[in-house]
Structure 1
Amino acid sequence: MKPGTIRAWGWVHKWSSLVSTIFLLMLCITGLPLVFTHELDHILLGHDEQASVAADAPKLNLDQVLDVALSRHPGEVPAFMSFDEDRPVVNVTSVDPNGPPDKYTFQPIDQTTGEAAPLVAGHPVMEFILQLHTDMFLGLAGMLFLGAMGLLLVAALVSGVVLYAPFMRRLPFGTVRAKKAARTRWLDYHNLLGVVTVAWVLVVGVTGVVNTLAVPIIAYWKDTALKELTAAYDAPVSLTERSSLDAAVERAKLALPGK
């Protein structure tokens, strides 16, 4: 490799690393506790024994849950339904067809009693860490900025691998020259840790960049693929006519066994 090429790659490696380091450090520090979000919330918020008992009780079917939710907000129609993983709660989202299009009603319904279930949120500390990790409290702009930092991380990794070969050509793989000057030792540690973890860090960086693009990707999907999928329903049936949710779920399970 020519000296000029090495200098160019060195410039890319140095500045892509320096610019992104502080933000990548923040992502690492906040990402570590987020790996254990469920366990930390369990410790910080306590454990609801009643939820464990209720999980084994007989459950209302989805049609009954939906009827309960809509009876509390007459005139609204169902929009979404989701399910809590760790408690028997169905979350029903409904909307007034004559109201603002972006105004929704969210109701968590206890599937064992039909009563309103308490909203479950993470501990404030964990919620703060999650928001900081996701977009630094800047919304989409923050997400895209962190995505740009992720691209710089990828550039730093690629340039580091390119530079590793000529610098380590005369040394065995993973050599740490412990008897050399401190600067040389730190360079060897840097090279060793970098080349050993490069595959894992590259996966984290690339997938992180993709995650920051989730909002524009989903928006594009809605404007293209989803629009085509819903074209056949441009003239839907009356909003008061609904098929059975339970039947629809069973058909979905048959189409995707094991899911």
Structure 2
Amino acid sequence: MTSKSLRIWIRVHTWTSLVSMLFLLLLCVTGLPLIFHEDIDRAFGQRAIPDTSAAATTPHLPLDRLIEIARQARPGETVRFATAVRDEPLWNMEMATSVESRKLTAIVTVDARTGAVMRTGDRIRSPPMQFLRDLHAELLLDDVGMWILAVIGLCFVASIVSGVVVYAPFMRRLDFGTVRKTSRRVYWLDLHNLSGILLTVWLLAVGLTGIINTFSEQIANHWMATELADMLGPWRNAPAPSKIISAQSAIETALAAAPGMTVATVAMPGTMMAGPHHYDVFLSGNQPLTSKLIIPVLINAEDGSITDMRSLPWYAQALFISKPLHFGDYGGMPLKILWALLDLGAIVVLCSGLYLWLARLRRSHGNAHPSEFQLTQKGATDDVLA
């Protein structure tokens, strides 16, 4: 690598790291409890637990009966969406004043075996987890925060790539795992380089999935405006159905058309996701690795036939896959613990990088051209290798 190329790569690594440093520390700190958000919410009583009076083998009630129970729990309201809680005999019913309304009024959780209402609330997350989620996802700034984090995510990815380009060739000169203790700065430099190299793949995965998640609202809106609109288009001017089939028969039809799948969510007729003429049954794989692969199935609400069934486009599938990958939701508690340890490792990388930059900045005060940070070929090499 030439002196000029090395100088450019070091500057890219330095400034993309500095731009994203404090934001990334915030994201790592807030992301740590979010990895365990379900467990923390359950501890706060925010997550419903199944009715302990029923045996695990008890057959489930029809979905229509569960919907009616939810409506009885919230008089004057109706169910817009029914979402099955994965691996538990529970359904979350999203309530609204009308099926066309986009304003959620409550979530009623019903045990599918007994019909018992296990919880009623206006949100799934506990207040502490909701605050951390909003801070992590949008910096409490709504859309503005999302765009800021998207830029930070791009800087982060550039920082990782440039860091590998700059440090990997020099790290080959040292035995793997070497952390020299000749001085405090050398110790932190080797620790930064080693932890960064060890975490490179994970950091890239988390960084890229974080960028994708930042655009989740835009991705969902684009899918609705294109794919979903195309699916519902032929019925746009059709007369209202004279009768509505049961929700249970709709999900049975959808499941029969997709063996090996399970019900994730059912959008009721009249909602923005189904239109007035259909149920929209969203199916997912029944294994951990396929559980985020979603297939929407449009069921004619009048005669129960399938009118459309298609896989989500690549960009929507990328979103559904990236969400659990970002927080390590694929493999239960063992993967969550691994993700937490990797998150702590990322904090070490960030803190050591910040320390090295501050140490180098202090050394540059006596230099005639401190803005260059001694980035000659020799100076750059010395700065990397200490």
TM-score interval, smaller chain? 0.7 to 0.9
Pick the aligned partner of 1:205 from 207, 210, 235: 207
**TM-score normalised by length of structure 1:** 0.83
Q: Does structure 1 residue 233 correspond to structure 2 residue 235?
A: yes
Structure 2 residue identity aligned to 1:65: L
Cα offsets for 1:89-120 (capped at 9, x unmatched)? 440445647x8x54455562635347695226
> Alpha carbon RMSD of aligned pairs, Å?
3.1
**1:39, distance to aligned residue in structure 2 (A):** 1.9
Partner of 2:108: 108
Partner of 1:245: 247
* Aligned pairs for 1:1-259 within 5 A: 1-45=1-45, 51-53=51-53, 59-67=60-68, 79-85=80-86, 86=88, 88-93=90-95, 96=98, 102-103=102-103, 106=106, 108=108, 110=110, 111=112, 112-113=114-115, 117-119=119-121, 121-178=124-181, 180-238=182-240, 241-259=243-261
**1:245, distance to aligned residue in structure 2 (A):** 1.3
* 1:154–1:206 contact (8 Å) kept in structure 2: yes
* 1:90–1:109 contact (8 Å) kept in structure 2: yes
Distance 1:66 1:166, change over 3 A: closer
Instruction: Return the alpha-carbon distance in structure 2 between the equivalents of residues 35 and 173 of structure 1.
Output: 30
User: Where does the alignment leave 5 or more consecutive residues of structure 2 unmatched?
Assistant: 262-386
* 1:78–1:94 contact (8 Å) kept in structure 2: yes
Identical amino acids, percent of aligned pairs: 36
Q: Is 240-249 or 209-218 further displaced after alignment?
A: 240-249
- From the two aligned structures, give the one with the greater helix fraction: 1
**1:225, distance to aligned residue in structure 2 (A):** 1.3
Distance 1:47 1:7, change over 3 A: closer
Instruction: Return the alpha-carbon distance in structure 1 between the equivalents of residues 30 and 50 of structure 2.
Output: 32
Counterpart of 1:53 in 2: which secondary structure? coil
Instruction: Return the alpha-carbon distance in structure 1 between the equivalents of residues 180 and 196 of structure 2.
Output: 16
**1:211, distance to aligned residue in structure 2 (A):** 0.6
